[in-house]
Amino acid sequence: MFNLEKLNAKQREAVTTLGGPVLVFAGAGSGKTRVLTYKIAYLVTEVGLPPENILAVTFTNKAASEMKERVQHLLPEIDTGRMNVGTFHSISARLLRREIHRIGYTPDFTIYDQADSRLLVKQVINGFSLDLKQYDPGSIQTLISRLKNNLESPDSFREAGSGYRDKIIGNIFQQYQETLKENNAVDFDDLLLLPLLIFEKFPERRQVYQQQFQYVLVDEYQDTNRPQFEFVHALSSEHREICVVGDDDQSIYGWRGADIRNILDFEDAFGESKLIKLEQNYRSTKTILEAAHAVITKNVHRKEKKLWTENSDGRKITVLENNSERHEAGTLVSALRWNDGREYKLSDYVVLYRTNAQSRPLEDEFRKSGIPYIIVGGVKFYDRKEIKDVLAYLRVLVNPLDSISLERIINFPPRKLGRTTIDRLKALAADENIPLYEAIPKAAKAGAGIRQQKALAGFYHLMKDLRKRLQECTADDLIRLLIERLELENYYLEQAANDGVERWSNIIELVSSVSEFQENNPEKGIKEFLEEVSLLTDIDRWNDSTRAVTMMTLHSVKGLEFPVVFIVGLEEGLFPLQRSSEDDKELEEERRLFYVGITRAREKVYLSYARTRRRYGGEALEMMPSQFIGDIPAELLDIRMTRTSRRFSDERNPRKVYLPKPSAVKSTKVTQINEGEFVFHKLFGKGRVVEVRGSGEEAKLTIAFTGGVVKKLIAKYANLRRLSKY
């Protein structure tokens, strides 16, 4: 129950500090969720603030649900349904349902996912009669999203552009936005931008929400982008009752717009603030924390802090060297087999990698060895074709203006409507300035054939009848009726393809999902279900109860923890990525990503790399171990060569072979490096200094190592030895 004595001194300070902005630097495993939930309970019980006047923003639905459950446990007498807890996107979507009519949309707008947005961009490009190879829809969609995250408009992009291509892309951006509005649809970026537009155009509505949300809490603040910052700033800048919790060392989403300056410059934005550091870690061993700290302190742009723990020292971090990526997969399987059933169960393990493509050789080896595994970030359930087809029907029933969803279903199940017929309907809709849906009854005028007119009439009457049922049917009754009218069971089970049964099973699972939603939310309908589905993430659907190894990218593991963590592919050019070698900012984010990965572990960490790896389908390339391994003090590592055997050596009977130490080479400790000198690095081996910028410990060195590897290192961190001979 609610008792502040269960908190440590710093946690208690974070919970009870009020009367101005509060910035809580919460290190990995330091109990930030505990602080947030206790602060909500404190605001309700000790300050007397009604739950509906508190806004708590998280980054995943899973985190939001956990927060609600924890608050409910602390305050069983409080109705947590009155709390405003959710992700930025879900909170914004809720606000827009009430306010979006002010800017020309209707409340039943559709939320387009990435695939829908890309398809719409493609349609816009085709509408301009542009070459899809020259103007790639995926690349342009990514650019539009980045521009939106930077609060740039089509006009500002065109003005800042340097040529004809930028002008064309600006036109595509503008037409994309106009078509979204015509479809009564928003994309993920609009969910964040449109509330800001409403606040700007209707300041009285901003005041309404400022008064409603009398205290604002933000989780994972280091991952906020500019629109998210502007949103919480707009709500809290007047009363200044805001508490943000985050860790700059875990800011890993710069590539999708997150701005680490939001947390580092918090006081500049919100004025005089209280800064509190949570540095006691309850998750990991001392060894894991020492290793993580040794790596992250190489970053320049961070607030000084160091995690500590009362946990035991724990076991050393095992470094596995392998011949190749296939060999790496075999070594991983051996390690899993050795421990499974003895010390850990399969669900205790997570295998982390930098890029999704790295999972393939691991999956192959797992399948051959009969080891069950789950991939977080594969094809999501709601992204499967059969599921998206049914969801598209539901979206059109709710919002007939949604032409993207309408085009998806107009010939599904097949109605023998060709591309020509659909293009004629679209042309008629454009000529008469009407939505595509309203052009369907005018198929004859559009020039459709008799058979096509009949098929379109049947489709239109089906949709018209089902739309009448929207208000009288529950969500689960509506989807059952839709599936029955479409005869989807026969359609899938009569298919010659082997996956027909599986696809029908997925449809059944979708119905179960809708029924579960209806049971948990009896007052809500299909519109709310569609919104929830649109905002789901991979992590929201993952659970750790399955007896299987979990595999995911390092970006996906944020917020999770496991007894044992494997990080594979720790090679220069792969992790850190090659592009980061020329950009200090990107290298720092790669280092933070490694920090996030290693601090997910409670008890044991394995770091694995391959001496050769096949890249881009070509021949195997020689690889160098990641500099991140070299940043960890040698006394924390148990380094094992596994090149000659696929058998994994248990720590209780190891056959240890260590990487050569610098002391084994005739050398002298570096005090000042000059161009042209030869040096030795414990991971990269021998090299020649080709450039020196600056002097002393802060000098930046460019070194060409054997094997064609060129690295940029800072002298004081490089731990180089000068060679008397090369």
Q: What is the Cα–Cα distance from 408 to 554, expressed in whole angstroms?
A: 34
Q: Where residue 679 falls among pLDDT bands split at 50, 70, 90?
A: confident
| pLDDT of 88 over the 90 cut | yes
Rounded (5°) CA angle 718-591-262: 125
Element containing residue 396 per DSSP (H, E): helix 385-398
- According to the model, what pLDDT value does residue 427 have? 92
Q: Which of 113, 187, 220, 402 is catalytic?
A: 220
pLDDT mean over 430-438? 93
**Catalytic one of 206, 591, 600, 611:** 600
Angle at 165 between CA 163 and CA 168, to 5 degrees: 115
Give percent of the chain above pLDDT 90.
58
- Beta strands across the sheet bearing 721-723: 667-669, 721-723, 678-681, 685-693, 700-705, 709-714
Burial zone of 122 (CB within 10 Å; 0-12 exposed, 13-18 middle, 19+ buried): middle
pLDDT at residue 80 greater than cutoff 90: no
Q: Please write the tens of the pLDDT for every residue from 206-254.
A: 999 999 999 999 999 999 999 999 999 999 999 999 999 999 999 998 8
- Is 301 within 8 Å of 264 (Cβ atoms)? yes
Least confident piece of the model among 10-14, 187-191, 485-489, 596-600:
485-489
Predicted local confidence at residue 254, as pLDDT: 86
Reading the block at residue 353, the tokens are 């990698």
Compute the distance between CA of residue 354 and CA of residue 371 in angstroms, rounded to an integer: 22
Each residue's pLDDT tens digit, 374-396: 888 655 677 788 989 999 999 99
Residue whose C-alpha is closest to residue 574's, from 538, 640, 628: 628
586-612 pLDDT, tens digit per residue, is 899 999 999 999 999 999 999 999 988
- The verdict on whether 241 is a catalytic residue reads no
Lowest-confidence pick of 166-180, 560-574, 680-694: 680-694
Do residues 151 and 190 make contact, with C-beta atoms less than 8 angstroms apart?
no
**Distance in angstroms (rounded) separating the CA atoms of residues 554 and 629:** 16
Task: Out of 12, 13, 17, 33, pick the active-site residue.
Answer: 33
3-class DSSP state of 534: helix
Residue 515 confidence class, pLDDT cut points 50, 70, 90: confident
pLDDT band with cut points at 50, 70 and 90 for residue 476: confident
- Two tokens, residue 200: 């700007």
What is the rounded CA–CA span in Å between residue 455 and residue 410? 10
Question: In this predicted model, what pLDDT tens digit does every residue of 343-372 receive, in sequence order?
Answer: 788 899 999 999 887 887 888 888 888 888
Asked if 87 is an active-site residue, the reply is: no
Question: Which ranges of 17-113 would DSSP assign to H, the alpha helix?
Answer: 32-45, 61-74, 88-99
For residue 33, indicate whether it is catalytic. Answer: yes
User: Tokens standing for 108?
Assistant: 């039943």
Tell me if 671 sits within 8 A of 338, measured CB to CB: no
CB atoms within 10 A of CB 580: 19
Smallest CA-to-CA distance from 361 within 312, 410, 326 is with 326
DSSP label at 577? Answer: B
For the cut 50, the answer to whether the pLDDT of residue 539 exceeds it is yes
Average pLDDT of the residues of the chain: 87
Residue 207: the pLDDT is: 96
- Give the DSSP letter string of 118-186: HHHHHHHHHHTT--TTTS-HHHHHHHHHHHHHTT--HHHHHHH--SHHHHHHHHHHHHHHHHHHHTTEE
Average pLDDT over every residue of 298-310: 94
Instruction: Give the pLDDT of residue 311.
Output: 97
Query: Contact at 8 Å (CB) between 324 and 612?
Result: yes
440-468: pLDDT as tens digits: 999 999 898 999 999 999 999 999 999 99
673 vs 9: CA distance, rounded Å: 47
The type of residue at 407 is E
* Tokens matching residue 75: 């305050």
- Which secondary-structure segment (H or E) carries 289? helix 286-296
pLDDT at residue 120 is higher than 50: yes
Burial 495-506 (b: 16+ CB within 10 A, else e): eeeeeeeebbeb
Position 502 scores a pLDDT of 73
Q: Do residues 126 and 132 touch, judged by C-beta distance below 8 A?
A: yes
Q: Examine the pLDDT at 710 and tell me if it is beyond 80.
A: no
Candidates 663, 689, 662, 692; CA nearest to 678 is 689
Q: Does the structure show a pLDDT above 50 at 659?
A: no
pLDDT of residue 675: 83
Please check the confidence at residue 644 and state whether its pLDDT lies above 60. no
Nearest CA to 35 out of 279, 383, 308 is that of 279
For position 183, what pLDDT does the model report? 94
pTM given for the model: 0.77
Describe the crossing of helices 385-398 and 450-469 by its angle, rounded to 10 degrees: 70
Given a cut of 60, is residue 657 above it in pLDDT?
Answer: no
Residue 277's pLDDT is what?
96
Which tokens go with 58? 């998280």
pLDDT band, residue 669 (cuts 50/70/90):
very low
Is the confidence at residue 497, as pLDDT, over 90? no
* In contact, 679 and 703? CB cutoff 8 Å: yes
At 509, is the pLDDT very low, low, confident or very high (cuts 50, 70, 90)?
confident
Is residue 32 part of the annotated active site? The answer reads yes
- Residue 645: pLDDT band by 50, 70, 90 thresholds? very low
Residue 648: what pLDDT?
Answer: 46
Percentage of the chain lying above the pLDDT 70 cut: 90
pLDDT higher than 90, residue 326: no
Spatial separation of the C-alpha atoms in residues 115 and 122, rounded to whole Å = 11
Per annotation, catalytic residue among 11, 37, 141, 250: 250
**What's the CA gap between 11 and 439, in Å, rounded?**
61
In terms of Cα–Cα distance, which of 563, 512, 542 is closest to 65? 542
Q: What is the pLDDT at residue 389? A: 94
Structure tokens at 112: 């387009």
Question: What residue ranges in 332-478 does DSSP mark as E strands?
Answer: 349-353, 373-375
Q: Locate 128 and state its tokens.
A: 């301009």
* Cβ-based neighbour number of residue 594 at 10 Å: 27
442 contacts: CB under 8 Å, gap ≥ 6: 428, 432
- Mean pLDDT of the 251-273 span: 90
Please state the length of the chain. 726
From the candidates 219, 259, 572, 588, which is the catalytic residue? 219
Does 61 score more than 80 pLDDT? Answer: yes
Tokens of 695: 């002097």
- Give a three-class secondary structure readout of 312-363: CCCCCEEEEEECCHHHHHHHHHHHHHHHECCCECHHHEEEEECCHHHHHHHH
Question: What pLDDT, in 10s, does the model give residues 557-568?
Answer: 988 999 999 999
